[in-house]
Structure 1
Amino acid sequence: MPRKKLIRINSSHFQSLFKAIYSFFKSFGKYHSYQWQKEQKEQVIDLPPIKKERIVSTERPNDCSKCGHGPLAEILYGLPDFKDPEFQRAQAAGEITCGGCCITGMEAKWQCVECGQKVWQPPLWHEKQALARYSSSYRKRLFEETMKANGFQKKEMS
């Protein structure tokens, strides 16, 4: 019976073999992933964006411009007390509706309870800027008074 010849593999040979196999599968996966993405991009249909025009009013509209229902409900933001009987009555009568808890300052003011059309109030930029200026000067004065009350003195830098 012929004797079998043993092949000895050094650990560095073993590592290089697995590195080669790993790099092969890695490049294979990248290629097929790229091909798949390319095919998906070709299948995408470009739809024109839905253009929603904002309806702006300084006062609460009597009727909805879309469906004619009126008057529009005021949108409440934040977390109202849902168990309050006055809140339940006003919501059932269509005087108010909930708008969510996130407040960014760009929310609609009124909403039609029939069709969901929203109406925005124009921003009061001049009032907001005046309030911001006043707030900034007030914070500065408050800081200086607090520092003075705690024994710190303002020194001029030269």
Structure 2
Amino acid sequence: MLDVAIEADAEWDSRTGWEELVSRAAQAAVAESAFPQLAAAVRPVELSVRLTSDEEVRILNAQWRRKDKPTNVLSFPMAEAYELEQGDEEGPELLLGDVILAHGVCEREAAEKAVSIEDHAAHLVIHGTLHLLGCDHENDGDAEDMEAREVRALARLGIADPYKVHA
């Protein structure tokens, strides 16, 4: 069973149902990952999502990636590949890791893309969750695979393909 722990700072409008949106996005990402069995595993599976400020993300990005600027999403995986592969077996809770979104960056990018902040945040949660599940975009093949997984996960939520070029 997938449990998504979420914490949102005040600048993330509390009128938006962030808990439901983030949970649905994370579940969609798991379903489209190489480890879809984790969504229905007997073993408890957890990931943490923090919706926070650009400043907090800037600090984390500088500390962990040596890039002193905010970014849209950070992922901090905790599970090893063998743990993901054995995730549906009996055992202690499997902690996938942390996904952290920066509000200002997310809001600016959503405006640039002419999409809602909710849809863009869902995309970023999916992207970050896929990173926790071993996906990457370091080379063209991996990037294409990850993008396809993101598009399929977004479709599960009724969100359009963000990579499709609109004429």
Structure with greater strand percent = 2
**TM-score with structure 1 setting the length:** 0.22
Structure with greater helix percent = 2
Give the structure, 1 or 2, with the largest relative contact order (CA under 8 Å, sep 6 or more): 2
